[in-house]
Amino acid sequence: MNTIRELVNQGIKVLQQMRINYNSPIGHNTMQLINISKQLIPNLQKEQPEIADILNNALSTINFNGFISAYSFGDIRTCYRILASLYNHPKKIFISHSSEDKDIVNGFVKEILMLGCKFERTDIFCTLDHSAIRTGEDFRNEIVKNMKGCDFILCIISENYKRSEVCTNEMGAAWAMDGKRILPFKFPHLPFNDMGFLNVVKQGADITDKSKLDELYTELCAFYGLSTDWINYNQRTADFIQLVNSKTGRN
């Protein structure tokens, strides 16, 4: 997913620099666009085979006796516009959680992600454990729709999460997707050996483990090119951990 998005954005930047007419020769920008598209096509074969075929055909005919074929160029430009709408999704982080744990999850979103990492609310998608997402085919469609554009999937695992069919289905759907960074965080009272199949897939981190929250902060800032403010983040994590402890009876 990230590779496709990066290549699409590279292609869009080149296209924005190009102004062609029926007498435009093949030049540096055209060759750059061709090279980017050749890298993009193999990555599209699985997820977007029809677009990959159109792009491949357009590349084979874009060079018309040393000049740009306007028709082929139009097909390439259309492909990139469609791909940009599919892959440049505003959501960055998907939160899978039980609605029974909404106080702690809301605290995580507010203190860690928004105030700590400086994400906007629109960067984050939180699932709800009720009929907003139905089981069966509708569930699968909704999960794919909401997870597809996200880079990170954070699973907030509790006893409520384990008992929820929707939540465990979300976890399964997340692991079935390619190119996703999946990070499970468990409630402090939930032992690792009591996580069932979740523990088999990947051992989760305790949501009150400061070192693990620091690792998350470092990774998110590096991935999105965010500047770090450890003084602020340390205060936010302290406030969040205090909230979790008060809600789980650890104070």
Do residues 67 and 145 share a domain?
no
Instruction: Please give the Cα distance from 244 to 205 (Å, whole number).
Output: 14
Average pLDDT value for residue range 8-31? 86
Span 53-107, pLDDT tens digits = 999 999 999 998 999 998 999 999 999 998 887 776 556 899 989 889 999 999 9
Instruction: Please give the Cα distance from 129 to 46 (Å, whole number).
Output: 31
Span 41-55, pLDDT tens digits = 999 998 899 999 999
Domain residue limits at 117: 93-247
Distances 216 to 114, 115, 179, 199 between C-alpha atoms, Å: 13, 14, 17, 19
Q: How confident is the model at residue 135 (pLDDT cuts 50, 70, 90)?
A: very low
Domain tally for the chain? 2
Do residues 133 and 230 share a domain?
yes
The residue whose two tokens read 């991935």 is: 223
Do residues 65 and 97 share a domain?
no
Please check whether residue 182 is in contact with residue 211, taking contact to mean a CB–CB distance below 8 angstroms. no
Lowest average pLDDT, out of 8-12, 141-145, 185-189, goes to 141-145
In this predicted structure, what is the pLDDT of residue 1?
57
List all residues 6 or more positions away from 191 whose beta carbon is below 8 Å from its beta carbon.
none
CATH number at residue 135: 3.40.50.10140
Do residues 110 and 149 share a domain?
yes
Residues of the chain with pLDDT > 70, as a percent, come to 84
The residue whose two tokens read 């096509």 is: 41
Do residues 121 and 49 share a domain?
no
Do residues 109 and 68 share a domain?
no
Q: How confident is the model at residue 134 (pLDDT cuts 50, 70, 90)?
A: very low
Do residues 101 and 223 share a domain?
yes
Span 180-228, pLDDT tens digits = 888 999 998 887 665 555 544 456 789 999 999 999 999 998 888 788 9
Do residues 157 and 234 share a domain?
yes
Instruction: Please give the Cα distance from 115 to 148 (Å, whole number).
Output: 25
Q: For residue 186, give both structure tokens.
A: 């468990």
Lowest average pLDDT, out of 59-63, 126-130, 175-179, 211-215, goes to 126-130
Do residues 199 and 97 share a domain?
yes
Do residues 54 and 109 share a domain?
no
Average pLDDT value for residue range 148-173? 85
Please check whether residue 204 is in contact with residue 185, taking contact to mean a CB–CB distance below 8 angstroms. yes
Average pLDDT value for residue range 23-27? 86
Cβ neighbour number for residue 211 with a 10 Å cutoff: 9
14-23, 94-103, 109-118: which is most confident: 109-118
Do residues 128 and 179 share a domain?
yes
| Between 83 and 126, residue with greater pLDDT | 83
Out of 21, 54, 87, a domain closes at: 87
Average pLDDT value for residue range 144-173? 83
Out of 52, 71, 87, a domain closes at: 87
Out of 31, 52, 87, a domain closes at: 87
Do residues 83 and 138 share a domain?
no
